[in-house]
Structure 1
Amino acid sequence: MNGKTVVLKIPRSFLRYYRLPSDVVEVEGPEDATILDLIRLAELPEVEFGIAAVNGEREYLSYTPKDGQFVELHPIIMGG
């Protein structure tokens, strides 16, 4: 089975609310895994993230990153 390894960067503020060892998580998944799939594989709280950035470009969570890419996750912003 072919796979890939992607690095997910989460906001440091999340470390206050979730028991994570670091704000950088390396995830292994299948070649066709989307960002959302990788969030689930890493057991991160998927409801917290609404958008991602890959190489400085905004991407939806349905984007399929390539092996070795660095993905920054950004929270859903709520206003009121």
Structure 2
Amino acid sequence: MELALMELALSLERLVNEKLLYLHSVAARCNDPNTTQFIEDEFLEEQVEAIKKISEYVAQLKRVGKGHGVWHFDQLLLHEGENGVA
């Protein structure tokens, strides 16, 4: 279940990234440097980081399998921010 949910989250992040890139290309075609810069500064880097992080989660969940591994992954994810790790 957790793996399926993470894969869904990854798909959604990729879709958002695709739409942002399309919006960026439209702004570039319309010669709108303010909008292109805004999209680059405020959204694209964050999207790439989110895709990378969720991709890592998906890979970890595939490795740990079911059972205790998923529980342990959930615990690490739950306490990730508490240890200064983002």
Q: Tell me the TM-score normalized by structure 1.
A: 0.22
If the length of structure 2 is used for normalisation, what is the TM-score?
Answer: 0.21
Question: Based on CA coordinates, which of the two structures has the bigger radius of gyration?
Answer: 2
Structure with greater strand share of residues: 1
Higher helix proportion (structure 1 or 2)? 2
